[in-house]
Amino acid sequence: MKKILIRIINWYQKYISSYLTSKNINCKYYPTCSEYTKQAIVKYGALKGSIIGCFRIIRCNPFSKGGYDPLK
């Protein structure tokens, strides 16, 4: 399951994220939410990593400051 999720995120980063970046729509966090989720899945496994990634995506809203937010 872990490999499948990583492949999905890689596909998203290659096609969707690169398209959005070309339209000047960027993630306000570093690393990006998709990279953060990928790192969480590698470190914590498919279930816990996906949950951690979802919480990061929820934090990424118009009212957040953004900035450097590494995986702990």
pLDDT per position in the chain (72 positions), as tens? 999 999 999 999 999 998 998 888 888 899 999 999 999 999 999 999 999 999 999 988 888 888 998 998
Place of tokens 């590494």: 70
Number of domains in the chain: 1
The domain of 27 spans: 2-68
Place of tokens 């980063």: 13
Q: Which of 15, 12, 21 is nearest to 41 (CA)?
A: 12
